[in-house]
Amino acid sequence: MSFLLSWLILSQIYALAALSTNLLVGVIGIFSVSQAAIFGVGAYTVALLTVSNTVPFPFAVLAAMAICGGLNVLWSLPSLRLWGDYFVITSFGSQIVATSVFINWSELTAGAAGITGIPGPVLFGHEIVEPAEFLVFSTVVLILASVSFWLLMHSPFGRTIDAIRQDESAVLAAGKDVLRAKLSVSAISGVYAGLGGVLFATFIAYIDPTSFDIHVSVLILTMLVVGGARTLAGSIVGPFLLMALPQALAYVDVPSTIAGPLRQLLYGVLLVAFMLFRPQGIAGRRL
Amino acid sequence: MPGYLEVSGVSKRFGGLRALDQCSFTIERGKISCLVGPNGAGKTTIFNVITGFLRPDEGTISFNGTVLDHLTPRARIRCGIARTFQNLRLFGEMTALDNVVVYLKGDDAIGPIAALTRPFHTHAAMKRMKERALALLDDVGLAHKANDTPATLSFGQQKLLCIARALATGADLLLLDEPTSGLSQSTLSGMVEMVHKLRDQGRTLLVVEHNTKIVQRIADEILFLHQGRLITQGAPEKIVTDPKLAEIYFGGAL
């Protein structure tokens, strides 16, 4: 598979995860560090439902969207009572729990070995296996998600959720239903992450718990910081840049044993550098 | 005749502190009532209790014949009560126009589902809301600042923006927390005029105010609070000349 195609597709997949995080963390201000877990639940759901052709792909996608939306609402419930740093810790715990479940509920998830042989997306009786075809599919999904994000942000609801992050009491004084807004955003954010997971599982055809651990959550947050929060462009630029990094490293002559740690190091350096020198990211606002 | 807003026997304790202690008063429709009293008298607490931001330990509040006790802040706003905050609480990253848009009544129907499934309807609604918000900004003399963020406005303009937001809720009763504090002499008159204008348009105002000169200029009635209780209520000329109140307020000799 060509490097360019895999970079484009993976970037689009992480852009969905970044959109999810953008809405939750960037817009309404629920600082979750567990979006990779929701992304993973989407991936596992579609994998388990389609791996032995038990459920048609579109239904598996709907199931993944519903489960991820619902789960993200549950995940965010502590944010209604906990503020800032306290919720970050809760969310960190949620991520650890999810990873443990992915690893240890081996009857369902096949544990650390992971699930192999996940079929590609099947639409109108045609299975998408060629990367070029997959790119068309993932592009359409990302466009739909982006349009929905844009529509939300440019609606009265978008103004309300933007205001909630800035001053929740003032939104309460406006007579707005803050609770409902937070739950709605959590659900929509979960759906985006779930869709990302669906594309990930059906593109790679293999999933294991390491694809959805805390490092991935931090990676998605880094994409948002680098791209810039609260804008559509930010959620897309960030993933494309950060996914290019491992590929760029492949051109540098480093031993494979240190390529992995070096990549993590570079992600960390990028995160700190952007936080310090360009907190608004490339095309967005300060987180 | 029952009052427009009736506060009866309301108490609120914070630990050992009695912020409100069997506080009772009634205000009439169409008047400007000023809440005065020394720091810690319970003025802001009574605002929080009326708007539902705080639950009182005891007592009851009714507005326009409706008992508010079990209503959420949101439901109280729908009854027609809006407030401003002492510390303004403007949305700093939004334009003045969007600050008002968030407060506009009636956009609740356009939730996330409608935004996604009926984009043209939502777009049209948003356009109408921006027009309404602009009209409200015009009412308080800020139409020319519609696209500016609060940080670029003067303090007086920020306070006017708070009033525009409160008006956007469609409220009949406005609770203004220190609308003139920190204003320069020149902007002060504008605010006094604004408060009068709001009353003349048929609204009822309950205003927390420290400056006794301003109180005399704007108040139809003064409510004097001390240690969480209503000490006296009456016309400004009567209250400000009361030596007992001067003692409490200024610590002067009786």
Q: What is the pLDDT along chain B (254 residues), one digit of tens a residue?
A: 568 999 999 999 999 899 999 999 999 999 999 999 888 899 999 999 999 999 999 999 999 999 999 999 999 999 999 999 999 999 999 999 999 999 998 765 678 999 999 999 999 999 999 999 999 999 999 999 999 999 999 999 999 999 999 999 999 999 999 999 889 888 899 999 999 999 999 999 999 988 888 999 999 999 999 999 999 999 988 887 888 777 777 664 43
**Lookup: tokens for A258:** 């240190």
Q: How far apart are CA A188 and CA A221, in angstroms?
A: 17
Residue of A nearest to B99 (CA): A163
- CA–CA min distance A192, chain B (Å): 14
3-class DSSP state of B62: strand
Q: Where are the beta strands (DSSP E) in chain A?
A: 122-123, 126-127
Interface test with A, best of B83, B97, B116 (most A CBs within 10 A): B116
Looking at chain B from residue 55 to 94, which residues have their Cβ under 8 Å from any Cβ of chain A?
Answer: 73-74, 77-78, 82-83, 85, 89-94
* Mean residue pLDDT across chain A: 93
Per CB-CB distance under 8 Å, the chain A contacts of B126 are 154-156
Q: How far apart are the first and last CA of chain A?
A: 36
Query: What is the chain B residue with the closest CA to A182?
Result: B112
Return the exposure string of A245-284: e unless at least 16 CB atoms fall within 10 Å of the residue's CB, then b: ebeebeeeeeeeeeeeebbeeebeebbeebeeeeebbbbb
DSSP A2: -
Q: Chain B contacts of A69, Cβ < 8 Å? A: none
Cβ within 8 Å, pair A285-B112: no
Residue matched to tokens 């609070």: B225
Nearest chain A Cα to B85, which residue? Answer: A170
For residue A156, the chain B residues in CB contact (below 8 A) are 101, 104, 107, 110, 115, 122, 125-126, 129
Q: Give the one of A156, A169, A185 whose C-beta lies nearest to B126's C-beta.
A: A156
Residue of A nearest to B79 (CA): A175
Q: What is the pLDDT of residue B186?
A: 85
Amino acid code (one letter) for A66: A
Element (H, E) at A193: helix A178-204
Q: Which of B103, B158, B177 to mutate to test the interface with A (most CBs of A within 10 A)?
A: B103
Determine the Cα–Cα distance for residues A77 and B241; give it in Å rounded to an integer.
55
Distance CA A202, CA A55 (A): 14
Strand pairing of B66-67 and B58-63?
antiparallel
Dihedral sign for Cα atoms in the order B192, B229, B42, A179? negative
Task: Return the ∠ at Cα B95 (arms to B87 and B205), rounded to 5°.
Answer: 45
Enumerate the residues of chain A whose CB falls inside 8 A of the CB of residue B117: none
- What does B121-163 look like in DSSP terms, one character per residue? HHHHHHHHHHHHHHHHHHHTT-GGGTTS-GGGS-HHHHHHHHH
Distance CA B46, CA B12 (A): 9
A276 pLDDT exceeds 80? yes
Query: B89 contacts in A (CB within 8 Å)?
Result: 167, 169-170, 173
- B20: nearest Cα among B247, B233, B244, B225: B225
Please report the pLDDT score of residue B251 as a whole number: 62
**Contact flag B108-A177 (C-beta cutoff 8 Å):** yes
Give the closest-approach CA distance of B123 to chain A in angstroms: 7
Q: Searching chain B, which residue's CA lies closest to the CA of residue A27?
A: B93
- Chain A touched by B102 (CB under 8 Å): yes
Closest partner CB to A170 (pick from B89, B98, B107):
B89
Q: Residue B138 has what pLDDT?
A: 97
Is residue B173 within 8 Å of residue B206, measured between CB atoms? yes
User: How large a percentage of chain A has pLDDT more than 70?
Assistant: 100
Residue B122 is nearest to which of A155, A170, A177, comparing CB atoms? A155
pLDDT category, A247, cuts 50, 70, 90? confident
A107 confidence band (pLDDT: 50, 70, 90): very high
* B143 interfaces chain A, CB cutoff of 8 Å: no
Shortest alpha-carbon distance between residue B39 and chain A (Å):
23
Tens digits of per-residue pLDDT, A170-224? Answer: 999 999 999 999 999 999 999 999 999 999 999 999 999 999 999 999 999 999 9
User: Residue B24 belongs to what H/E stretch?
Assistant: strand B17-27
Closest residue on chain B to A170 (Cα): B89
Selecting from A148, A163, A180 the residue whose C-beta is nearest the C-beta of B102 gives A163
Nearest-CA distance A269 → chain B (Å):
28
| ipTM of this complex | 0.91
| Cross-strand partners of B204 | B173
C-alpha angle A246-A252-A254 in degrees, rounded to nearest 5: 90
pLDDT of residue B250: 64
Q: What is the pLDDT of residue B69?
A: 95
Cα–Cα dist B196/B114, whole Å:
40
- Partner-chain contact A174 B103, CB within 8 Å: yes
Q: How confident is the model at residue A259 (pLDDT cuts 50, 70, 90)?
A: confident
* Strand duo B5-14 + B81-83: pairing: unpaired
Q: How many CB pairs under 8 A join A and B?
A: 92
Q: What is the pLDDT of residue B253?
A: 41
Residue closest to A198 by CA, chosen among A43, A39, A8, A20? A43
Contact criterion met (CB < 8 Å) for A173 and B115: no
- Residue tagged 């494309």 (tokens): A240
Per CB-CB distance under 8 Å, the chain A contacts of B107 are 156
As a whole number, mean pLDDT of residues A211-238 equals 95
Contacts of A68 (CB under 8 A, 6+ apart): A38, A41, A42, A45, A190, A191, A193, A194, A197
Task: Find, among A52, A32, A56, A8, the residue nearest to A192 by Cα.
Answer: A32
Measure Cα distances from A244 to A7, A137, A139, A282, B219 in Å. 7, 21, 18, 15, 66
Dist. CA B133–CA A174, nearest whole Å:
14
Neighbours of A10 (CB within 10 A): 21
Question: Tell me, what's the pLDDT at B2?
Answer: 66
